[in-house]
Amino acid sequence: MQRISITLDDPLVEDFEAFLKTHGYTNRSEAMRDLIRARLEREELDRSPDGPCIANLTYIYNHHERELATRLTRSQHHQHDLAVATLHVHLDHDFCMETVVLRGPAARVRAFADAVIAQPGVRHGRLSVMPVRIIAADHPHGDASTGEPHTHVQPIV
């Protein structure tokens, strides 16, 4: 890790200190690292809109809406290469929240999320996307004595 120093105008320092307090940071360096990572991730997604990513799609829906639960499940099955896992939470007698973990090309992930959020009856849809790099590997895991070809997913920054 390298130490760097920066110079900021007083009003920006005051805003940064307020940001630290609001978000519970006890360390300026950690806050700066997070802010820099967030900016670099956005730039990577802009530069490579079809690059690999992992994402989290969360939405709320009324499971009594006509065939909505079936349509949502069907959309995940049709895109099973993108939809890694789903967490389903019953909020009350009517509403459910689902969180879908997605992995794949960013453009396809965004298109899938847009299609889900656009379904009549889906509310409060949010997508969080993080660019990643896919690394080919063939080392052993667990008790295996030989490695099978597989991939690792790592954050870009």
Q: For residue 1, what is the DSSP state? A: -
Q: Across-strand partners of 100?
A: 57, 86
Query: Is the residue at 151 inside a domain?
Result: no
pLDDT given for residue 10 in this prediction? 93
Percentage above 70 pLDDT, the chain:
99
Question: Do 74 and 40 fall into the same domain?
Answer: no
**What is the rounded CA–CA span in Å between residue 24 and residue 45?**
27
Query: Is the residue at 143 inside a domain?
Result: no
Query: Is the residue at 103 inside a domain?
Result: yes
C-beta neighbour count of 106 within 10 angstroms: 22
Give the residue numbers spanning the domain of 15: 10-47
Q: pLDDT tens across 2-35, in order?
A: 999 999 999 999 999 999 999 999 999 999 999 9
Three-state secondary-structure class, residue 153? strand
pLDDT given for residue 96 in this prediction? 97
What token pair was written down for 48?
């490579």
Q: Identify the H or E element spanning 17.
A: helix 10-23
Query: Is the residue at 106 inside a domain?
Result: yes
Q: Is the confidence at residue 45, as pLDDT, over 90?
A: no
Number of domains in the chain: 2
Report the sign of the C-alpha dihedral through residues 134, 135, 136, 139, in that order: negative
Query: Is the residue at 74 inside a domain?
Result: yes
Q: Tell me whether strands 122-137 and 83-90 are parallel, antiparallel or unpaired.
A: unpaired
Query: Is the residue at 79 inside a domain?
Result: yes
> Domain holding 80: CATH number?
3.30.70.1150
Question: Do 80 and 102 fall into the same domain?
Answer: yes
Question: Do 82 and 106 fall into the same domain?
Answer: yes
Question: Do 26 and 83 fall into the same domain?
Answer: no
Longest dimension (CA), the chain: 59
Q: Is the confidence at residue 144, as pLDDT, over 80?
A: no
Answer with the residue of higher pLDDT: 107 or 137: 107
Query: Is the residue at 25 inside a domain?
Result: yes
